[in-house]
Amino acid sequence: MGVGKMKIKRVLTFLDEIRSQDGQDVSPRLRKAAAVAILDNPFAGRFEDDLSPLTKASETVGREICAIAAQLLAPDKAVSYGKAAIVGINGEQEHGNAMLTTVFGNVMREAAGGGKAWISSMTKRGGPGSTIDVPLAHKDALYVRSHYDGMTIMLPDAPQPDEIAIIAVYATRGRPNHRVGGLSASDIKGEDGLV
């Protein structure tokens, strides 16, 4: 395996459909979908100044898992997104960050049918059984408070010490029962990723 062509060893998928919450029906339903790629970490166990091979590889990895996550929502469309990485303990947190740059982000936006806003993210080191809270925000305007949400992902037997788990998450709407004000999704201008 060359570093530039990182092989996806496994893909895990998760779908959470919320129909009722706190005694209130959720309409339209809230659906959150995640796809996770498990990869060998070519830099595990050694320090490397140049992490650009990870960034380059993230485009191909992202294209596959973002398409899978977006398809899980069908026929609904993604309106929120978030990304994350868990790096096995023989790697560095920075290896996960190198795979979640704008290169990955642009592929994520494309799979969502577009997006103007910065993509929330979380990275950490961990092992099998790790959980991570993937933050979510509206894909076109960060100031839409109703869409500040997240999806907790637990990987039962990954990442192994020399692996990286890359995670893409999409959601179909904001939080159920949101009522803290702020910019409404229906008032988005979609010009700068903020409002």
C-alpha separations of 47 from 50, 90, 91, 93 in Å: 9, 10, 9, 12
- Residue 194, domain member (yes or no): no
Phi then psi for residue 97, to 5 deg, are -60, -35
Res 134: pLDDT: 99
d(CA 118, CA 159): 26
- Residue 193, domain member (yes or no): no
Res 116: pLDDT: 93
- Residue 129, domain member (yes or no): yes
Total structural domains within the chain: 1
d(CA 173, CA 18): 11
Question: Are 69 and 13 in contact, with CB atoms under 8 Å apart?
Answer: yes
- Residue 33, domain member (yes or no): yes
| Domain span at 149 | 3-187
Res 195: pLDDT: 74
- Residue 192, domain member (yes or no): no
- Residue 84, domain member (yes or no): yes
CATH number for the domain including 166? 3.30.1330.110
Res 5: pLDDT: 67
pLDDT block averages, 10 residues each, the chain of length 195 = 72 97 94 98 97 97 98 97 99 99 98 96 98 98 94 97 99 94 84 78
Res 161: pLDDT: 98
Res 2: pLDDT: 44
